[in-house]
Amino acid sequence: MSLQQAEQLIEAAAAYLAAVEKNWAQACATDGQISVSKMDENQQLGYDLSWAEALIFGAREMLSYPTRVGKGAGSQEEKLALFFIAEALYDIYNRFKIHSLQYGQSAADYDQVFQAPALLSFVAQYSHAQYAVGIAGGLAENKDFGLYGLNEDQQMMMETFRSFAEERVRPIAEKVHREDLTIPQDIISALAEMGCFGLSIPDTYGGFQSEENPDNTSMAVVTEELSRGSVGVAGSLITRPEIVSKAILAGGTSEQKGYWLPKFASGELLCAVAVTEPDFGSDVAGIKVSATKVEGGWRINGTKTWCTFAGKANVLLVLARTNPDMSLKHKGLSILLAEKPVTDAHSFDFKQPEGGRISGRAIATIGYRGMHSYEVVFEDYFVPDANLVGGNDGLGKGFYLQMAGFAGGRLQTAARATGVMQAAMEKALQYSLERKVFGQPIFNYGLTKLKLAKMAAITQTVRQMTYRSAKLMDKHEGSMEASLVKFYSCRVAEWVTREAMQIHGGMGYAEEYEVSRLFVDARVFSIFEGAEEVLALRVIARSLLEKALK
């Protein structure tokens, strides 16, 4: 009955949000189209709607979660579900107190949904600290974080890569982080042998993704487990080949697919993505790095930044302006595959026989070390015609091909966030049981139990949202869901890792404890693969309004 009640409350909140979106869409419409400038007059509403829709997505997934994994009333899975749903409804309730008075929604509309005795009673019962005690007890006694809901093959992959992360990744994670080292080649080679780099590439091209029965969930599982060991040493290694491979699959020629994809799948070639520029990040339409046509190919000039893994990569996916007419904006962009020598160094400088030059330097960062993000400078760097993705048919389509890869990248980022949260939660639980304050383990205190319960509920919710998005991607759907889970997971990962540090007290601030690394690693998630604010305002909120306007 509790889950049935939860369903009614979730759908009432969803209907309320839909009404707000419809009214706001009409206010932002110009000639039947959504005006971004009008949207920007109330960015807070756009952000909060995006956040609320992410919470609704998570609540719906947790509503079906206990049944989906075969657990019933009183189970840890049901407790996690009810706790998260109550927290989500309370969050939406607080965010929309003021918004309810805007764009046609009256205080009465708001009160009917959020001030209803049923909702307040539900929130009071299931988000209460005393309810969290039961969840925390399961964590402490049985390490019961809730079933994942994987099939047999996916479970085997989880166990295989968890063992790898425990035995090979975690033992070196702190050293790589503290000394700002590059990922050891033996880690890359071992993961290549395990087929990691081919998880997003169709079996037709030597990968492990079935074209007839795609399984993006397995890729998410592997990403999570490697990130649980270290997102900088292993968790991000398979993101770049997915982004590059998806772009080639979406618009590459048959020759390009046949040449590049098997090499990426085997790990023979490692790749990186060069899209962001010093003055243009999310505003891709303003990109200025140019590719000028010359005999036999193109010469690239300009500077790219935040090019992660550029040193170790053999190939860079470069989004460049092949048409100098800036009025074309993103329609003047194309993708070229620029090959380069490999280095472990924090800087490089290579000259081509043709006279071109490529140089780079690693950007010092507080976390996410091992991968290293570079600023890369191209000076008349030559790329042959064969490396223009899509050939002549790919001219002007670079932005669209790049976006085809980024949807999967967002999904992987959610999986990376899940792995980091899981690691932080496990460390916090272990420390809370061992550390005594005022004569008893800090786990015994109510606030600690409440924090741990919330960590567990959030982490499991993000995991289930990620799996749902992956299943939709199997059907070539789920772009919105991937954006929602990326947006939500990256923000809450900061909270989970922050609270894990707080439970450690002063030792959480010491580098010798893993949680300090997890915290600074989590901070990057809200920035890469689509900055939090841009994702909320330009992708999610805009899509919601466009849908509401129809």
Which structural domains are found in the chain, ordered by start?
A: 2-127 (1.20.140), 271-399 (2.40.110.10)
- Number of Cβ within 10 Å of residue 321's Cβ equals 23
Encode pLDDT of 521-548 as tens digits: 999 999 887 789 999 999 999 999 999 9
CA distance 550 to 546: 7
Q: Which residue has the tokens 């989004």?
A: 319
- Tokens of residue 452, six digits: 């741990």
CA distance 24 to 52: 15
DSSP 209: B
DSSP 277: B
Active-site residue among 21, 61, 78, 529?
A: 529
Handedness of CA 517, 519, 523, 526 (dihedral sign): positive
Q: Which run of H or of E encompasses 272?
A: strand 271-274
Cα–Cα distances in angstroms (integers) from residue 382 to residues 83, 232, 299, 318, in the given order: 57, 31, 5, 12
Residues with Cβ within 8 Å of residue 80, at least 6 apart in sequence: 62, 65, 135, 146, 456, 457, 460, 461
> Catalytic annotation on 529?
yes
User: How confident is the model at residue 103, as a pLDDT?
Assistant: 60
DSSP state string for 76-105: HHHHHHHHHHHHHHHHHHHHHHHHTTSTT-
CA distance 146 to 144: 5
User: How confident is the model at residue 329, as a pLDDT?
Assistant: 87
Is 180 in contact with 369 (CB distance < 8 Å)? Answer: yes
Mapping DSSP to helix (H, G, I), strand (E, B) and coil, where does residue 374 land? strand
- Number of Cβ within 10 Å of residue 19's Cβ equals 16
With CA atoms as reference, report the closest residue to 425 among 302, 511, 515. 515
> Which amino acid is located at 421 in the chain?
M
Three-state SS annotation for 297-343: EEEEEEEEEEEECCCCCCEEEEEEECCCCHHHHHHHEEEEEEECCCC
DSSP 35: -
Is 428 in contact with 504 (CB distance < 8 Å)? Answer: yes
- Tokens of residue 243, six digits: 């982004």
With CA atoms as reference, report the closest residue to 516 among 174, 165, 236. 174
Q: What's the pTM value of the predicted model, to 2 decimals? A: 0.94
- Tokens of residue 250, six digits: 């979406």
For the chain (550 residues), the mean pLDDT of every run of 10, in chain order, is: 90 91 91 92 94 98 97 95 96 83 70 80 89 95 95 95 97 95 95 93 91 90 97 93 92 96 96 89 79 97 95 96 89 96 96 94 93 96 97 94 80 95 97 94 96 98 97 92 95 97 93 93 88 92 93
DSSP state string for 410-449: HHHHHHHHHHHHHHHHHHHHHHHHH-EETTEEGGGSHHHH
